[in-house]
Amino acid sequence: MLKKTLKGSTIVEVVTGVLLIALGMALSIVVFTRTMENSNLYVKHQAVNAVNELVIRQEKAMKYRPVEIDTANMRISSSLVSFKGNQHLQVITYSAVLIASSKPIYERKLIKRIE
Amino acid sequence: MFYFFRNKVSGGALYYAIVVLLLLSLVSSGFILLNRLWFQENVLFFQYTALNDRLDSADEWLKIQPGLVEPDETKNLDLYGDSSLVTLEAKSWGLLRLVKSSARWNSLTIQRTTLYSALSNDPRALYLSDKNKFLSLVGKCVINGDCSLPALGIRAGEMDGGTFTGKTMVDGQIFQSEKYLPPLSYNLLQPWRSYWNQQFRPTDSIVGANDLVRHPVSAVSFNSPTKVINYPKSAVLQNIALTGNIIVVAKDTITILPSAQLKDVLVFANTIIVSNDVTGAFQLFARSRLSIGERCMLHYPSFAVCFAQQNTAKVTIGKNSTVIGGTLIDSKTESLAANRLEMSDGCRLTGTVYVNGEVSFSGRIHGSLYCNGFYLETPRAYYENFLKDAVIDLNSREAGFGSFVVGDMPDELKFVKRCL
């Protein structure tokens, strides 16, 4: 019965099939690699949480000052620069940098009033 | 060669290949979708935070530099010189300033509407213009803050056998005042003067008193056109709740009863009468007379304004009533003494109180008082520039209390509330 229905394929069909499979696999590998690369999103999320925590802490205390905090793999810091020469306003840059590669991961800039 | 291609390979390799390919396609599309979702979610989250930070920063800048965007101005601010733009559009809302700020990234736009009040760094509790009269204190008077007083100065007065019994006459520095009060900014009331004549802005949405029954108005967003409820003659506001971007105008008299709930609303009329026991937060603009009844509680930000064009202005505050925001009485007439503020026992005014006229003082002022004189009537006599048991305390209001300022430009803006 099988012999009757599946008579076999031409070599062209087989080659086409193999090529399609290879193409599909290549695409999967590319996408998978990219997704894996983007797993530094996890690191980025860590950075976001750490930076936001620092922002909230300083806002709650109403005390804005330069800070450097080292975590397991990154350095969270805040720096102050005068805003357009205004003595009461400071631009506070909060940033997270990977310690190993010095690669910046996340940054927030806020203008705050500082007496 | 031809023979080779015609030769068939036994088995269903193609069908297997198709099935495997389908599976691989499914997996690949899953990855692509996941990647796309993660990317979108993250970009949106990061950009949303960045845009919010930009708006917060622009707010801080505007608060400390009120001249940055003045009413009826729109400006694009580049905060850090890297094209991180914030658009600020300002207009006045009564004696407050309404600022719409927006920031965008691609198709993502964040917008806010905020009300600000004006803040003055002037530590003055009392400015009494120099009409060549002493200021006499009787009873337990408290004046806490700097004072600008007539050249003749301040003294303990005597009234009905009593004299000054307080600790110090003025707890602050004393300066000499000028003959006239420092003028108000022309722009303070300018945008609103036409409303008394029932001339509205082209952008206003006018609702007649008759239409109000068919199309009731309750809450209007500050992001939509201002709704003006126009009464041709007089109106009684009762059993009505109005919130937001609404102006109530009547040619003659508006009476507000306790059943009316007004919030952020502006009220314009020739005469405004606020009945006893009314509560709310609104701004009143009368042209000849403004009367606030007993036990009224006008929460922050409320303003009582009486600005007379030809006649005189008079404001009466009933017993145990409170106005938190500011009080302003002025007129174009030269007989400024005819402008009056009558305060009753137990009443409390918080914020700037500017009376280009005379004050019958009773109760307390938590803020700054500017006036040309005081008067006090007893069954036996009429006393000029006498204060009895008066409390003018600049420091008992909360720190950084925002009201309106006397002069051209506020020193700072104070956040009042975020509007819908």
The DSSP secondary structure of B351-389, one letter per residue, reads EEEEEEEEEE--SEEEEEEEEEEEEEE-SS-EEESEEES
pLDDT at B414 over 70: yes
Asked if the Cβ–Cβ distance from A27 to B28 is below 8 Å, we say yes
For residue A104, cis peptide bond before it (omega within 30 degrees of 0): no
Asked if the Cβ–Cβ distance from A28 to B34 is below 8 Å, we say no
pLDDT at B237 over 70: yes
Asked if the Cβ–Cβ distance from B21 to A20 is below 8 Å, we say yes
Average pLDDT over residues B208-236: 88
Pairing of strands B85-93, B96-105: antiparallel
Asked if the Cβ–Cβ distance from A31 to B28 is below 8 Å, we say yes
3-state secondary structure of A102: coil
The reported pTM is 0.83
For B21, the closest chain A residue by CA position comes to A21
**Distance in Å, alpha carbon of B29 to nearest chain A alpha carbon:** 9
3-state secondary structure of B70: coil
**Distance in Å, alpha carbon of B186 to nearest chain A alpha carbon:** 28
Exposure string of B323-344, with b = 16+ CB inside 10 Å and e = fewer, is bbbbbbbbbebeebeebbbbbb
For B15, the closest chain A residue by CA position comes to A17
For residue A1, name the pLDDT band (cuts at 50, 70, 90): very low
Closest by CA position to B353, among listed B319, B388, B317, B383: B317
For residue A25, name the pLDDT band (cuts at 50, 70, 90): confident
**Distance in Å, alpha carbon of A73 to nearest chain B alpha carbon:** 21
Could you tell me which residue, A30 or B417, shows the higher pLDDT? B417
Asked if the Cβ–Cβ distance from A91 to B65 is below 8 Å, we say no
Strands (E), B120-223: 124-128, 135-138, 142-144, 146-149, 154-156, 158-159, 162-163, 174-176, 205-208, 219-220
Could you tell me which residue, B195 or A45, shows the higher pLDDT? B195
Asked if the Cβ–Cβ distance from A32 to B31 is below 8 Å, we say yes
Residue B243's pLDDT is 94
Residue B214's pLDDT is 77
Asked if the Cβ–Cβ distance from B65 to A18 is below 8 Å, we say no
**Distance in Å, alpha carbon of B95 to nearest chain A alpha carbon:** 25
Q: Using an 8 Å CB-CB cutoff, list chain B residues near A8.
A: 8-11
Separation CA B271–CA B253 (nearest Å):
5
Q: Using an 8 Å CB-CB cutoff, list chain B residues near A37.
A: none
Separation CA B21–CA B35 (nearest Å):
21
Q: Of B38, B57, B84, which to mutate for an interface test with A (greatest number of A Cβ within 10 Å)?
A: B57
**pLDDT tens digits for range B258-283:** 999 999 999 999 999 999 999 999 99
Torsion, Cα of B64, B117, B372, B274 (10° steps): 180
Contact A89, A82 (CB under 8 A): yes
Which of B31, B35, B79 is nearest residue A111 as measured by Cβ atoms?
A: B79
Report the first-to-last Cα separation within chain B, whole angstroms: 79
Give the distance, in angstroms, between the CA of residue A93 and the centroid of all CA atoms in the same chain. 19
pLDDT at B5 over 80: no
**Distance in Å, alpha carbon of B25 to nearest chain A alpha carbon:** 7
For A52, the closest chain B residue by CA position comes to B49
Q: Using an 8 Å CB-CB cutoff, list chain A residues near B7.
A: 10-11
Residue B8's pLDDT is 57
Could you tell me which residue, A106 or A35, shows the higher pLDDT? A106
Q: Which of B76-90, B222-236, B293-307 has the weakest average pLDDT?
A: B76-90
Average pLDDT over residues B309-328: 92
Residue B337's pLDDT is 61
Percent of chain A surpassing pLDDT 90: 34
Average pLDDT over residues A20-43: 77
Asked if the Cβ–Cβ distance from B57 to A111 is below 8 Å, we say yes
For residue B17, name the pLDDT band (cuts at 50, 70, 90): confident
